[in-house]
Amino acid sequence: MEENEHPYTLINVIGGTNGVYEDHVEFLEKHFKLITMKEFTENKQDLSHKIKAIFMWFHKPVVDRDLLQSLPNLKVIANCGVGVDHLDLKLISSFGVKVANTPFAVSNPTADLGMALMLASARRIVEGHQIAVSPDTKCFMADWLGEEINGATLGIIGMGTIGYKVAQRARAFEMNILYHNRNRRNEADEQAVGAVYCPKLEDLLQGSDFVILSVNLSPQTQKLIGRKELELMKPTATLINISRGQVVDQDALVNALKNGVIKAAALDVTYPEPLPRDHALLHLKNVIITPHLGSATSKARHLMMRNMVESILAGVSGLPVPNEVHV
């Protein structure tokens, strides 16, 4: 790449539902020659050999074998967010292309949302709002009660960057913390948040008042929480999911919520997204659902974009790629 030449970078579109944010474009164009999918499709012959990178903003553009074969000089794909379950990493690697994500940009806002969902569910905030604004409300019932999280036990499944930040926040609420992870964290990390490691998932489920899911989606975590796991939980417990919808068997969850197997659920993720409008989860009073808001802050999205720029610039220059995702 010649000095001062901006690398050609493929994006889906600018603006709209799945497009790069318009207020990010000025910064991106300081570093890249942006090519939309429409421009690429209309001029493949000229652009195919020029494109060195893909800037993937919320799963777009879709990367498949056909696209990879049409980009012989592609070096790096920068993906916003942590999850890469929408990418075939082995296929991409077979073309000699590197993949990077943005794990640290999303950790704080996602942990914040996990705590917000736990508090909202425990204190029945959504139900309370509906009562407060309802035209039918004549008085506030003195026996309409929620639960406190102070002193309760939180079970964190997946103690990576996000899970650990949840633990840090929960510690400030004087919660007792259990965690289950593929690998145990070091003693200093555990002591800093007062976390107790549970080698067996069932021990965490049986002992927790709130269970929060913060794992990557993989074949091992697909339907990690199903009927058996839900039945191990306390009937007074709440399940919170800030990872991926497929980590939970949603049919089993519906049955558990309807039959009092667990008390409540608070979900930032479902499968699919959004759920069909007639889905049972949308009509249960003991469920809170938010539209995948984990990283949805202006600060986080701007940092994600900057992290992706850094990864692309390194990748096209043959330097080590920050936050590279390995197969």
pLDDT in tens, 61-83: 999 999 999 999 999 999 999 99
Rg (C-alpha) for the chain, rounded Å, is 22
C-alpha to C-alpha distances, 258 to 130, 225, 233, nearest whole angstrom: 21, 16, 15
> Please, are residues 52 and 75 in contact by the beta-carbon 8 Å criterion?
yes
DSSP 3-state assignment of 154?
Answer: strand
pLDDT at residue 217 is higher than 90 = yes
Q: Is 202 among the catalytic positions?
A: no
| Interval 253-278: pLDDT, tens | 999 999 999 999 999 999 999 999 99
Candidates 24, 169, 180, 244; catalytic one = 244
Candidates 49, 182, 273, 283; catalytic one = 273
What is the distance between the alpha carbons of residues 209 and 212, in angstroms, rounded to a whole number?
10
- Position 1 scores a pLDDT of 46
| Predicted TM-score of the model (pTM) | 0.93
Q: Is 244 among the catalytic positions?
A: yes
> Please, are residues 146 and 123 in contact by the beta-carbon 8 Å criterion?
yes
> Please, are residues 184 and 198 in contact by the beta-carbon 8 Å criterion?
no
**DSSP assigned state of 282:** G
Nearest residue to 61 (alpha-carbon basis) of 19, 96, 101? 19
Give Cα 296 to chain centroid, integer Å: 10
Candidates 169, 180, 292, 301; catalytic one = 292
Specify the higher pLDDT residue, 2 or 46: 46
pLDDT at residue 186 is higher than 80 = yes
